[in-house]
Amino acid sequence: MSNMVVFGSQWGDEGKGKVVDMLAEKADAIVRFQGGNNAGHTLVVDGEQCILHLIPSGILHPGKQCLIGNGVVLDPFVFCEELDKLAAKGVDVSPTRVMISKKTHVIMPYHCLMDAARESSKSEDGKIGTTGRGIGPCYEDKMNRCGIRAGDFADPELLKGKIAKALEEKNVLFQHLYGTEPVDAQAVFDKVMPVAERLVPYLGDVSSAIQAADCVLFEGAQGTHLDIDHGTYPFVTSSNTVTANAASGSGCSPRELDRIIAIVKAYTTRVGSGPFPTELTDADGDYLQSQGHEFGATTGRKRRCGWLDLVVLKESARLNGPTELAITKLDVLSGLKEVKLCVGYKYKGETVAYPPQEQNGMAYVTPVYETLPGWDEDITGARSWDDLPGNAVRYLKRIEEISGVRIGIVSVGPDRVQTF
């Protein structure tokens, strides 16, 4: 069987969790390869909602191995909370099913404090909309080679020394730059030790587990245009969200990535700050927000909504090489008299097919739209292409034509069964 990668093609919140949940049935192992608990994957099974932030979405399928790769930054407190919530629902979350790479970097309490101190020190127009969960500062320590890794939890003396060393510089910043109290290393150590002891049984060699599985599903977080290198910098996340990171963020060869699935919401949304060319601030935008229940799974923030941006999608296809598209939330468009597709940008007097490469260039583009007729039919009961109204099919076909990628999956509602 082929290995599969699921990635977000927009700014996150495309519905990756649901698609991963569906595809997990065919996989032996599901691995999360980047990001932290700044992402939320919402699943609906038999009408019951489950939101996961760290544990891969495949956990709801009995017998599947769920792996957390080295490219993830793990908040141990959030991880333990998820274990407890899933266990309360009767889900097996034993170490035989869940594994954390020993190389995974750990979000420490001082990372969250640093995140909050930095954001609060900025003026309103300088804020980037961070979730404040310590993701960026943890990745920063990783690159600065002073990070705490999950494997360190098995050696308390090593852990204590690394915490003290990491706080030497941070306490100077806390006191003299941000005007806050210094952080006591012993207090941090005492706080994390109980969860450290809980985590140790879950530590393992994720690379070997991937190698041993016949079919692995690689699960990304956020979306391509939040990628630290290729996204709308500086309004981005702190990791590489593109498909290439599935290999380096989990510990395998890129040759092992076979089927690459781009998750595409049938319209576009964005949470937080940053350019959004197709954003709608009119009745159509309100309709999409209301019908799509567009609130962030992690932050609860209202999502900004707009027409589907095929310039963004084509850039995602260029960067990730998808073998197919998975269209989600198509049902939200039902009831609109017409629907629009952004097929290009006007930028500096020219029409461009891809986003400008200059920093914040997308803030200065004007979308070029193609208008298609909408449909009134309720499509939430559709279970095949033939069940869709003609105008919905035309809309999907146009997405295929312009993106150059075929559609392999269509979702018409939140429940697991509303997908074909």
Residue tagged active-site, from 13, 152, 227, 309? 13
**Is 85 within any annotated ligand binding site?**
no
- 190 in catalytic set: no
411 is in an annotated binding site: yes
Residue 314 annotated as part of some ligand binding site:
no
Cα 68 to Cα 278: distance, rounded to the nearest angstrom: 35
Q: DSSP state, 302?
A: B
Q: Is 232 annotated as a binding residue?
A: no
What residues contact residue 87 under an 8 Å CB cut-off, 6+ apart?
93
Question: What burial class does residue 150 get, using C-beta atoms within 10 Å of its C-beta: 0-12 exposed, 13-18 middle, 19+ buried?
Answer: buried
Q: Is 72 annotated as a binding residue?
A: no
Among 41, 53, 64, 105, the one annotated catalytic: 41
109-120 and 135-143 helices, crossing angle to 10°: 110
Catalytic, out of 53, 142, 265, 340: 142
337 is in an annotated binding site: no
Residue 331 labeled ligand binder: yes
Give the span between the Cα atoms of 372 and 305, in whole angstroms: 18
Q: Does 346 carry a binding-site annotation?
A: no
Give 232's contacts (C-beta < 8 A, 6+ positions apart): 11, 225, 226, 274, 275, 355, 360, 362
Q: Hey, how many other C-beta atoms are within 10 angstroms of the C-beta on 286?
A: 12
304 is in an annotated binding site: no
Q: Is 102 annotated as a binding residue?
A: no
Q: Residue 274 annotated as binding?
A: no
Q: Each residue of 401-415: b (16+ CB within 10 Å) or e?
A: ebbebebebbbbbbb
CA 90 vs CA 53, 55, 84, 100: distances in Å: 18, 15, 10, 21
Catalytic (active site) residue 13: yes
335 is in an annotated binding site: no
On whether 351 is known to bind a ligand per the annotation, the reply is no
Is 231 assigned a ligand-binding role in the annotation? Answer: no
404 is in an annotated binding site: no
* Cβ-based neighbour number of residue 48 at 10 Å: 9
Is 380 annotated in a binding site? The answer is no
Interatomic CA distance for residues 390 and 17, integer angstroms: 28
Could you give the dihedral angle defined by the CA atoms of residues 405, 363, 270 and 17, in that order, rounded to the nearest 10 degrees?
40
d(CA 294, CA 387): 26
Query: Do the annotations mark residue 303 as ligand-binding?
Result: yes
User: Any binding-site annotation on 160?
Assistant: no
The verdict on whether 314 is a catalytic residue reads no
Q: How far apart are CA 193 and CA 189, in angstroms?
A: 6
Q: Specify binding-site residues.
A: 12-18, 38-42, 131, 145, 222, 237, 297-303, 329-331, 411-413
Residues forming the active site: 13, 41, 142
Give binding residues for substrate as ranges.
297-303
Binding site, annotated residues for IMP: 13-16, 38-41, 131, 145, 222, 237, 301
Which parts are annotated binding residues for GTP? 12-18, 40-42, 303, 329-331, 411-413
> Which residues does the annotation place in the binding site for Mg(2+)?
13, 40
